[in-house]
Every structure is written in C-alpha cells, then in structure tokens.
Structure 1
C-alpha cells in the first residue's frame, strides 16, 4: 500500500496558474516548465486550458507510466478534471504513486499547502475547482482557454 494519500496533495488556484501563463512578455502560453493534464472524459468538449494535454481518465491505467517518463523534466505538473473533486485528484495520486514505483528512491516532501515536491524538484498539484471554475473566469479569454463554447457552460456544469 502506498504512503501517498489524498491529504498529501497540493493545490493550485486558477489565478496562480493563469499568472504563470500571463507572466512572460511573449504571447501568453503555458511555460515550458509546467504541464497541465486534463483528465476529463467526454466532458472535455466545450474548451480546455491553452497548452494542456488531454489524457482521459479512462486511459490513465496504461498512460500513467508514459506520462511519468515524458513529464520527468517538468517542474510543475497540474492535474484537473471538471471539478477536481475525483478524477483530477485521483490522477495526481496515480501519477505520484507510479513515479514512486518506477523510482523507489524518489521520496516526496511536504503536505497540503506545501506543494508536493520530489527530490528532483517536481511539484504535482491539482487545479482547485477544475475546469468548471477555470472557465467561469477565463473561458472567454482566448489567451488562456482554447475551444471554449459559451453555450455549453452558460447554465453551469
């Protein structure tokens, strides 16, 4: 059994993530050191965070080892689903546990507000409120959101 649990997960707000994306002088984009993994399934329609990678939660069983390998050089990995209540946090846990399985020497430090950071400096966090909260504030902002469809979201999730 893993010693990593839901209470160990760290969170990032939509404002914190957007400030990273808007922080450069260049055109707004996801910085190279951050990866955003969207684990929504069919509810992925209607928009997504610009630069995010869509990995449906139904595919996580076999895609998590690949994610660990491809994201190893990222400083921050952000997971989210629609509300970040179940699929997003579960995906973050699965990712952390797979990292531990593939590299048993890798220990993680910090709890709760102290972002989970392993010895190689990677933080794994969950987007507070998921895409639902994100799109409430940034859905129409084409600098931060791609493919947003107002009519899908206007009556809530």
Structure 2
C-alpha cells in the first residue's frame, strides 16, 4: 500500500472523527486530519534534525526538527507517536513519547490538521528510513536556532516549534 492509500480519520474543528478517506484524497481536498510531531533528543539532549526526501507527499526536501506523520484511521495520537518515532528514527524499543500539547495547524491556504506534539529521549543508535530521511544529525538547541533563518523548514514543524517554545516559556 502506498502512502497515498493509507486511510486517515477526517476530523472536525473539535477533533471529532467525521469520516475516513485515503491520505491522497484527504491531502488533495484539504480535509482536516490528525498528525503527530515528536521532538527526539539524544543522550546529550541534542535534537534530531533531518531533511526530508524529495519523494515525500508533503514538504519534500525541507528540513524538520521533529519526526512524525499522520495518525492512521482508528489509531490514537499516543500510538502514532511511538510508531512514527520508531519508524523514522529506525529504532525499536523506544520509550513511549511524552505528550506535551496539541494545536490546530492552519497553512493559511485553507488546509489544517490537528497536531499533537511529543518529546522522547532516544539513546539508541538511529538508522533513519532512507525513504523518509535524506540527511540527519543531532543538533544543540542553539544550533537549531541558528539554522532557523538559514534552512528551509517544514512550515508545520516550525509552527510546532513555536508552540513548544511558547509552552516552555510558560
């Protein structure tokens, strides 16, 4: 099954399921669905940063400071966070990511998705999926901040980063 064929829950502005459709159709029609964003840090506290492959359906070749993806139909945010983190980092036996916050992302062009943000410590050696990750490294918070104006970042990841920063600032 291709990524475009994966079935997603379609949700309303209150994150209630109102239907189910293939990912490709949901994207094409701009239908609201669910996503998870997981900030993965290594044993030294550095953030996993990567550049997406050019074959990704959304935001190809852009940089991201989160791993994650869509929540499948009937899947919980928590289960999706663990699945996506293990898949993209190429590890198994990862601790369950900790939920931090949820927000409704809006791309400004009429498309939006519910975005659950998590954090996880990954002390395992990573082996990212070649289909998902073209380049990766662990960067300090300061290095990430320095790269924000230099690299082209996925817009929803930037929004999650800003929300997380605001949340931490309290």
**Which band: TM-score by shorter chain?**
under 0.3
TM-score scaled by length of structure 1: 0.27
Structure with greater helix share of residues? 1
Task: Compare relative contact order (CA 8 Å, sep 6+) and give the higher one, 1 or 2.
Answer: 1
Structure with greater strand share of residues? 2
